[in-house]
Amino acid sequence: MDVLDRAINGDNLSVEELSRLYEYDIFTLGKFADEVRRKKYNDKVFFNMNRHINPSNICADVCKFCAFSASRKNPNPYEMSIDEILSQAISSYKRGAKEVHIVSAHNPNYTYQWFLDLFSEVKKALPHIHLKAMTAAEVDYLDRKFGIGYQKVLEDIAKAGVDSMPGGGAEIFDEKVRKHVCNGKVSSQRWIEIHKYWHSLGKMSNCTMLFGHIENRQNRIDHMLRIKNAQQDLNIVESKKGGFNAFIPLLYQRQNNYLKVEEFPSGQEILKTISIARIILDNVPHIKAYWATLSMNLALVAQEFGADDMDGTIEAESIQSAGGAKSKSGMGRDEMIAQIKNAGFRAIERDSLYNELQEW
Ligand code: V47
């Protein structure tokens, strides 16, 4: 059997073996990934009505790829108050958002209690909204700054109302590349431990991979395998419902940062990466083609190459748009639906845990 058949078969293959998947032509990879995706979801493409809120861009970390942080190339530092965040969340809810996605830079001015107050205030004001908040990098930052222990941070934010965790901060797990692109940030091992502990509380999260910068193909495969293994451990150890919901390959946005990148991936390389993710990550239910980093066009094409989700309407986006993405003011619901349907798919609005809400 060749490596593609063995990968589809779910055989235990090494990073070196799986890296050879990139040698297949894009149509072969796409065909196999599309079969896997269609078996699960047929011609459905998922999206949700969500609102991103980024409370501050003042950051104690110095990730080279980041254009958002005010301690890097962004000349406009800001810090929102709980009231400001609350009023944004409430107005988005009134416009139909069913999820708020709150992720911040690692601002040393916010206290530990500030985060707990923020989450309980959001939940008090909007008990029906899904609160997706706190990357593992933020959890790790609070743990280290306040000496609390990440387990307690996770238990506290869950009590305060956080429903699920986003997948940010994973970047690329390979330690050598990670040291170069985001030295000092949460370690790869700790990122995974934090998600596994969160899952053991019966909670869901996502996982990302920042790609298209200085990492190579093996680094991407290694990243996917670490996620697959983390999810596998969970299935063996835990009976509660928790785990990774979606894998999100985030395409590196190249403007306004300190990372020197010579070559950017072609559209084919990006689609191959998405197809390979669908093939390898057979134990992660969804592959999200995040339109903010891929562009709407490529995110739609990616739905034929293994992806099944676009993310959502976003409304406001500061991290990727600081790096050049066209996502600053999100995307209207009707536009999202029309684009999905024009691409020949069924547009399925989902909630944050992928329960289907409505076919449009
Ligand atoms: O962790 C920072 C990335 C992430 C750049 O869980 C960049 O549903 C590209 O994780 N180019 C935060 N990416 C965003 C994130 C996310 C987004 C949408 C949905 C979900 C989810 C999670 O943004 C960071 C970092 O990897 N990022 N700078 C850049 N120049």
| pLDDT tier, 322 (very low <50, low <70, confident <90, very high otherwise) | confident
pTM for the structure as a whole: 0.96
Q: Name the DSSP class of 253.
A: P
The sign of the torsion formed by the CA atoms of 149, 122, 312, 258 equals negative
Q: What is the pLDDT of residues 270-308, one digit of tens each?
A: 999 999 999 999 999 999 999 999 999 999 999 999 999
Ligand 1: list residues with CB < 6 Å: 65-67, 166-169, 171, 206, 208, 210, 248, 250, 252-253, 257, 290, 293, 311, 319-320, 323
CA of 171 to the centre of ligand 1 (A): 8
For each of the domains in the chain, give its residue range(s) and CATH number, in order of start: 24-359 (3.20.20.70)
Cα–Cα distance, 335 to 349 (Å, whole number): 13
Q: What is the pLDDT of residues 55-67, one digit of tens each?
A: 999 999 989 999 8
DSSP 87-113: HHHHHHHHTT--EEEE-----TTS-HH
- Ligand 1 pocket: which of 215, 250, 258, 260 to mutate (most atoms within 8 A of CB): 250
Average pLDDT, the chain: 94
CA 193 to chain CA centroid, nearest Å:
17
CA of 319 to the centre of ligand 1 (A): 7
Q: What is the pLDDT of residues 143-170, one digit of tens each?
A: 999 999 999 999 999 999 999 999 999 9
Quick one: pLDDT at residue 35? 97
Among left, alpha and beta (phi > 0; psi -120 to 50; other), residue 150 is alpha
Q: How large is the average pLDDT for residues 317-344?
A: 90
CA of 326 to the centre of ligand 1 (A): 14
Q: How large is the average pLDDT for residues 175-193?
A: 97
For residue 98, give the nearest of 359, 318, 354 by alpha carbon.
Answer: 354
Quick one: pLDDT at residue 138? 98
Q: How large is the average pLDDT for residues 229-233?
A: 90
Quick one: pLDDT at residue 216? 97
> Using alpha carbons only, what angle is made at residue 61 by residues 56 and 64, rounded to the nearest 5 degrees?
105
The amino acid sitting at 345 is F
Among left, alpha and beta (phi > 0; psi -120 to 50; other), residue 82 is alpha
